[in-house]
């Protein structure tokens, strides 16, 4: 990063929040690395080293700052193919699909690449090899849990992905030159927000601005009754990750540029996967500065961007769940689609008990739906062709023929979606936009988009949208909001 040192130092000296999470500063006189927004006194540039990621800083033997807490830095917004693969590897690490038992060759095989290609891609994007990346992310999560919760050291060790307390203590002491217990003593004055007996609360940061109200509004109108509940200031839902079942409640903390995630302790052992999915769902890694700069060049979108600078593209917690919801929503209103989806949840979702009476169902599993008859879905008011499509989707997903994970190649997934009976281009792009987190999805057939662009054809909409790339998904959300206000 030597060629950018002057730019990074200027951003650091001015505490520019747009650069938060894009680079980290190691201070040679203290041995500590910080975020660009760190409130500590600015060191001389000659005493600074700049890194692409926390893992790269820790590889150079710098320790994380206790004031700005690098573990809270927002993530990246992947655009190009190398970044997409690197972030997909990170997601799979957090999901537990890639763990300590995997070799680099095992990781490479999952992406149909050579181990050399994987090493090069991850090192270029993150500054370190995959295995070191995994270790650093686990330690930073452990550091956050030590700081923000009352969980025991043993619970934190397993919640952050370590297979034993011994390994956790050894890794933490080696990396940070202190035992975990000392860190907890040093940050004991930090406000703890959890009810230790049943839940813990942890924060997920973003780059401001962030339009929390529009995210809640979007999710509320598409709410799956029984699985989700959206109030005036909170998003709640039930969770099932593998055999682990529970619930979460997400609130906004604008003064911290964070979302506060309260989670039931039944989800502790899948916490990395849970937090990774929530970052994607709430679009916390977005770069509003880059997105706004691109879209404001357009006469149609310029004023919309000025009025809604923190607009996000809401993702989904579960790709299969979202795909079913999208199929049910084909050629019907949002309200009708929500009604059909709620019937679907009531019929096929497993019951669960939570502290919230509104949350009483888990999301129907693809294994269950793949074995369901067309008639059992049709009787909910779903037309026969869509019932067949949902079952075909469930079978393809269950057989790993149609992955719907964040970061998957959108062109390949869209092609596979279109091969399903009854899935059109609008539905495929909508799924790519929300489930795959593709920032450049564009459902050009959407009538609201075409009407707001002057009643044009889908082909003309495609031509106009070229100047919005690679952020067409965000353009779509702006246009939909314009349509909703008319």
pLDDT band at 193 (very low <50, low <70, confident <90, very high): low
- Phi (first) and psi of residue 46, to 5 degrees: -65, -20
pLDDT band at 195 (very low <50, low <70, confident <90, very high): low
pLDDT mean across residues, the chain: 88
pLDDT tens for 333-386 read 888 988 999 999 999 999 999 999 999 999 999 999 999 999 999 999 999 999
Categorize the per-residue pLDDT at 18 as very low, low, confident or very high, splitting at 50, 70 and 90. Answer: confident
Angstrom distance (rounded) from CA 91 to CA 70: 19
pLDDT at 190: 47
| Better-scored residue on pLDDT, 173 or 117 | 173
List the one residue out of 267, 203, 220, 204 whose CA is nearest residue 239: 267
Q: Does domain 81-186 have CATH number 1.10.357.10?
A: no
pLDDT value of position 395: 97
Sign of CA dihedral 354, 360, 363, 369: positive
pLDDT attached to residue 58: 93
Three-state secondary structure along 339-395? HHHHHHHHHHCCECCCCCCCECECCCCHHHHHCCCHHHHHCCCCCHHHHHHHHHHHH
Q: Please give the DSSP secondary-structure letter assigned to residue 375.
A: H
Helix (H, G, I), strand (E, B) or coil at 432: helix
Q: What average pLDDT does range 406-425 have in this prediction? A: 91
Confidence of residue 431 (pLDDT cuts 50, 70, 90): very high
Mean pLDDT of 421-432: 94
3-state helix, strand, coil in the chain (%, to 5): 50, 10, 35
User: Residue 189 — very low, low, confident or very high, per pLDDT cuts 50/70/90?
Assistant: very low
> In the structure encoding, which two tokens stand for residue 118, read together?
């994987």
pLDDT score, position 107:
64
Task: Give the 3-state DSSP-derived string for 50-81, with helices as H, strands as E and coil as C.
Answer: EECCHHHHHHCCCEECCCCCHHHCCCCCCCCH
Task: Summarize the confidence of residues 213-222 as an average pLDDT.
Answer: 95
What residue ranges of the chain are covered by domains with CATH 1.10.10.60? 81-186
Active-site residue flag, 389: no
Q: Which of 194, 283, 440, 446 is catalytic?
A: 446
pLDDT tens per residue, range 221-241: 999 999 999 999 999 999 999
Q: Specify the DSSP class assigned to residue 244.
A: E
Choosing from 20, 34, 38, 91, the catalytic residue is 34
Q: Distance between CA atoms of 129 and 113, rounded to whole angstroms?
A: 15
The Cα–Cα gap between 201 and 195 comes to 8
CATH of 2-70, one of 3.90.1580.10, 3.50.50.60, 3.40.10.10, 3.30.365.10: 3.40.10.10
Q: Which residues of the chain does CATH 3.40.10.10 include?
A: 2-70
| Helix ranges, 177-253 (H) | 180-186, 212-221
Give pLDDT, residue 347: 96
In this predicted model, what pLDDT tens digit does every residue of 435-444 receive, in sequence order?
Answer: 999 999 999 9
Better-predicted residue by pLDDT, 74 or 363: 363
* Statement: residue 95 has pLDDT above 70: no
What are φ and ψ of residue 264, in 5° steps? Answer: -70, 145
Q: Return the pLDDT at 41.
A: 93
Q: What is the pLDDT of residues 44-57, one digit of tens each?
A: 999 999 998 898 99
Q: Is 446 a known active-site residue?
A: yes
pLDDT in tens, 116-167: 777 777 777 667 777 787 888 899 999 999 999 989 999 999 999 898 999 9
Q: Is the pLDDT of residue 99 over 70?
A: no
Within 10 Å of residue 228's Cβ, how many Cβ atoms? Answer: 22
The per-residue pLDDT for 134 is 81
Q: State residue 77's pLDDT score.
A: 56
Give the residue ranges of DSSP H helices in 249-333.
271-281, 288-295, 302-307, 319-328
């Amino acid at each position: 990063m030597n060629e950018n040192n002057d730019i990074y130092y200027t951003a650091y000296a001015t505490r520019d929040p747009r650069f938060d999470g894009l680079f980290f500063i190691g201070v040679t006189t203290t041995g500590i690395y910080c975020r660009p927004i760190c409130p500590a006194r600015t060191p001389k540039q000659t005493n600074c080293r700049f890194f692409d990621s926390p893992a790269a800083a820790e590889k150079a033997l710098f320790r994380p700052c206790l004031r700005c807490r690098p573990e809270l830095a927002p993530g990246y917004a992947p655009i190009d193919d190398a970044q997409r693969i690197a972030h997909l590897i990170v997601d799979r690490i957090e999901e537990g699909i890639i763990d300590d038992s995997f070799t680099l060759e095992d990781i490479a095989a999952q992406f149909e690449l050579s181990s050399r290609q994987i090493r090069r891609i991850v090192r270029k994007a993150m500054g370190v090899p995959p295995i070191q990346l995994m270790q650093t992310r686990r330690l930073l999560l452990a550091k956050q849990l030590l700081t923000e919760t009352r969980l025991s050291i043993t619970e934190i060790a397993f919640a952050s992905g370590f297979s034993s307390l011994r390994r956790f203590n050894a890794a933490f002491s080696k990396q940070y030159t202190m035992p975990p217990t000392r860190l907890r003593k040093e940050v004991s004055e930090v406000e703890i927000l959890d009810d230790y007996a049943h839940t813990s609360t942890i924060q997920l940061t973003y780059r401001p601005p962030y339009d929390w109200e529009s995210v809640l509004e979007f999710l509320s109108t598409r709410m799956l009754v029984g699985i989700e509940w959206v109030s005036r200031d909170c998003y709640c839902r039930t969770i099932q990750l593998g055999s682990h079942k529970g619930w979460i409640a997400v609130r906004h903390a604008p003064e911290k540029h964070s979302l506060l995630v309260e989670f039931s302790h039944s989800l502790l052992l899948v916490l990395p996967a849970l937090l990774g999915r929530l970052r994607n769902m709430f679009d916390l890694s977005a770069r509003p500065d880059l997105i706004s700069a691109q879209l404001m060049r357009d006469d149609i979108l310029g004023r919309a961007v000025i009025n809604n600078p923190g607009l996000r593209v809401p993702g989904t917690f579960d790709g299969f769940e979202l795909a079913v919801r999208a199929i049910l929503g084909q050629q019907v209103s949002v309200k009708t689609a929500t009604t059909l989806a709620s019937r679907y949840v009531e019929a096929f979702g497993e019951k669960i008990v939570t502290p919230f009476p509104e949350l009483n169902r888990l999301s129907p599993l693809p294994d269950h739906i793949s074995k369901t008859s067309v008639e059992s879905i049709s009787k909910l008011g779903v037309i026969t062709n869509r019932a067949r499509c949902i079952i075909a989707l469930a079978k393809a997903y269950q057989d790993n023929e149609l992955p719907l994970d964040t970061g998957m190649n959108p062109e390949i997934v869209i092609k596979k979606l279109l091969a399903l009976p009854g899935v059109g281009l609008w539905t495929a792009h909508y799924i790519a936009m929300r489930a795959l987190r593709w920032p450049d999805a564009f459902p050009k057939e959407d009538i609201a988009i075409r009407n707001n662009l002057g009643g044009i054809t889908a082909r003309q909409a495609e031509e106009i949208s070229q100047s919005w790339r690679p952020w067409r998904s965000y353009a779509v959300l702006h246009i939909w909001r314009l349509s909703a206000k008319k």
